[in-house]
A and B are shown apart, each in its own frame.
Chain A
Amino acid sequence: MVRYGRRGTALLSVLLSGALALSPTSCGSDADAGDGRSLTYWSMWKENEPQARVLREAALSFEREHGVRVVIQWQGRDVMKKVAPALRGGVLPDLVDQDQSLVRATLVATGTYRDLSGLYGADVDGRRVSDVVSPRYGDLVREDGKPYLVPYEVIGYGLWFDGAALPEVAERPPNTWDEFIALLARRRATGAAPLALDGDISQYNALWTIGALQGALGRDRVNELARDPAGVAWRRPEVRAVLDAVAGLVRDGFFAPGHNGSRWPAVQERWSRGEADFLLMGSWAPAETGPKARPGFRYRFAALPSAGAQRYVPVEAIGFAIPRRARNPEAAERFVAHFLRDEHLGRISSVARNLTPNPALPVPDELADLAEATRTLPVARVQDGLAQDFPGYVEEVFWPANDQLLRGVTDVDGFLERLAARQANYWKKNR
């Protein structure tokens, strides 16, 4: 894996400047138009992933129908890190895909994305793109009202459990935090470890804290707390109460052993073998844990119970974006519209076993509860959009403080103190 160290950065800068100086034709080539006979697409998938299969077959079908060849490069998850240097001066793809946070951090933050308003009005088998992509997802991927992404896969977050082992929970999942705690206490009394958490992954820890806060305070409120330059907004009593509830999960020993000192995927594997009840995770959970799950495991989903009035389903969209300087943007848009047809997009569900942004399409059995939840409950951005809106914030500010809270190393006061100091430091250098 290529990582760039101190030298690497310096070298890269010079190479960039060199490329800039040596290739006046590629720089500022907004006027350069492609021939429209082919388009390049850098994908976040690896060739052997099911999504890649679906996309490749859609590309072949597009070529047959429109005579435009889609040249796909399977770049993998680091695709935006490869796009970034090319944005200044270099050969850019006409189409890329990644999750909304990374597209926002790379293309939107630098003002190099193409406004996809036109594409949202394009035709897909007699419907418009904006009809196919549910507005609940389409609205989450806009900057100043202009869409920068067309989602084709949706990740939803919540509690996963084995419906075969917990039929009464599957029947009536807990709605409120109190019901949830009562359920956990009952489960613990039977000797079961109620909650599974691979706490070395900071994002999994954050799903608990931010999920609980979203429910209690409402959507986008955590995002506001993070914007406070002094970092003291978190000390409000209503925030504190929720933090205390989260810390209570640790205090009361609801997390299965290993949550604070083991290595992923140890705990989630134990969960899939039936050694813990609930796993708070994204919709990749069934696919990731399925191969090791005990026979008869029935994947069920419930939105995280709320410590307030409303439950939310945190979601994150994965989709297509087009760099502003792309040479064949029209062809790329035509391909995106082509891919959104039911026969292609439906395979994201049937082949890649994931949720699509089109609620009318069938969903995989194991995601049926999640699909239902996204229809009946309001959606919110995962981690309340912190990673998306404030690059580096979760890594430098929230995660280090929150990890300690979820490990039981610190209490709410310690968390607030650490968070405030780190947040103040973050805003001092980012504004």
Chain B
Amino acid sequence: MAGRSTPAATGQVREAVTGAPGPAGTRPARSRRRTAPSALTPLAALTPLGRRRRRLFWPFLMPALALYAVFLVGPSLASLWISFHRWNGISDPEPRGLDNYRVLLGDTTFLGAFANTLVILVGVGAATFTLSFALTMVLRDMRGRRFARAVLFFPHIVAPVVLSVVWGFLFRSPEGLVNAAWRAVSGADGPNWLGEHLFLVIVVGLVWVNTGFYTTIIMAGVDRIPPDLYEDCALAGATGWQRFAHVTLPLSWDVVSTAAVLWTISSLKIFEFVYAFGGTTNDMPTPDVWNSALFVYGVTYGGRSPQYQYGYASASAVVTLATVTVLVVLLRRLTRRESVQF
């Protein structure tokens, strides 16, 4: 628990920082999966408590299972079924076999949107996590860090639509604030942000919106690290980077890997910021900045005269979902470490 470290963990730090073995050559303690007493094991079923537990298993499980089935499994399966059809939502669905998928993989609009999704997932994700860690390291020892943390978190609370309006004021050219500052500093006109670099500005905006949130999560993990480990580092003469690489990162790894999965999933659902910032009162943003979520909206309800292509949209959703599943599984494998107990 926080504030108390085991000799093993301290030893590991010293070993890592100085290269010298820890006291008595102890190995770092590993977390061990505890086997929870299952209500279904024959042994448990023998006891009166076990029998009662067993009787209650389904009544407790059913409501959640039913909700999950109705609101998640059902719709997902329905999407899969619809994705094999041409359907405008009104007439009867018309079977199309794999045609939707064939067309989809040659559709430059979809491929562009998918590429943007990946740029957001990887690029924005990497930038957000790097920034979050940097801020965490800075904020760890800072006075008034609660306040700083609140300020950082603020963009995450404000409605994306409001942010997009503010960002519009910042980045419009030639009269926006950013370009006014640019002119004041360099004397030359700044770039045409909204006209020519819209996606870049969206990417930067997303990093800004999300950094506060992930800083908060990562800080919560880092706060649990016992301060004496850092004192130990100071005594061992560790640099800031060594401190980060050998203490902060390994000891907050489980939090970071969870946050990474959280980001992977939520990055695919990003919609409002792109929609509101890239688009105008009546129109969607240009397809150049669409991500998969906007693509689905664009081929169903979006636009001045909606396309209502539910089959096609479902196919794109299925492809995205499949990709995400693969990515999350990969990510879980990549980030799997024995968690360090301290």
Contacts and interface: CB of A to CB of B under 8 A. Distances in A.
Interface of A: 1, 3-7, 9-11, 13-14, 16-17, 77, 80-81, 84-85, 87-88, 101-102, 104-106, 109-112, 199-203, 257-258, 260-264, 266, 387-388, 391-392, 394-396, 399-400, 403, 407, 409, 421-422, 425, 428-429
A210 to B, nearest CB: 14
**Of residues A391, A392, A395, which shows the largest number of chain B Cβ atoms within 10 Å of its Cβ?**
A395
A253 to B, nearest CB: 14
Contacts, number: 178
Interface stretch (B45-53, B220-228, B296-304): B296-304
A395 B284 contact: yes
A22 to B, nearest CB: 13
B305 to A, nearest CB: 4
12 contacts: A3-B272, A6-B321, A9-B313, A10-B82, A13-B314, A102-B305, A262-B172, A263-B169, A395-B302, A396-B287, A409-B195, A422-B108
Contacts of A258: 172-175
Contacts of A11: 71, 75
A394 B172 contact: no
B172 A13 contact: no
Interface in B292-329: 292-293, 296-308, 310, 312-314, 317, 320-321
Contact of A13 (B75, B268, B301, B312): B75
Given A106-B306, A199-B195, A396-B287, A263 B89 contact: no
Contacts of B76: 10
A10 B317 contact: yes
Given A9-B314, A266-B175, 19 more contacts: A4-B296, A6-B293, A6-B320, A7-B75, A9-B79, A87-B90, A101-B304, A102-B305, A110-B91, A199-B195, A201-B283, A260-B192, A261-B194, A264-B280, A392-B305, A400-B286, A407-B196, A428-B106, A428-B107
B145 interface: no
A402 to B, nearest CB: 10
Residue among B75, B82, B292 with the highest chain A CB neighbour number at 10 A:
B75
B297 A13 contact: no
A428 B312 CA distance: 13
B90 A88 contact: yes
A110 B88 CA distance: 8
A371 B161 CA distance: 38
B148 interface: no
A17 B93 CA distance: 11
Contacts of B317: 6, 9-10
Interface string B50-88: 000000000000000000000100111011001000001
A105 B172 CA distance: 33
B196 A409 contact: yes
B275 interface: yes
Contacts of B174: 257-258, 261-262
A337 B172 CA distance: 48
Given A6-B292, A202-B283, A396-B109, A260 B195 contact: yes
Given A391-B303, A392-B303, A6 B269 contact: yes
Interface in B230-272: 268-269, 271-272
**Nearest 9 Cβ contacts at the A-B interface:** A105-B305, A261-B173, A10-B75, A261-B195, A10-B79, A261-B192, A392-B307, A6-B317, A110-B90
A7 to B, nearest CB: 7
B94 interface: no
Given A105-B306, A109-B88, A392-B299, A263 B196 contact: no
A260 to B, nearest CB: 4
A130 to B, nearest CB: 26
Contacts of A80: 306
B79 A112 contact: no
Contact of A3 (B168, B275, B281, B303): B275
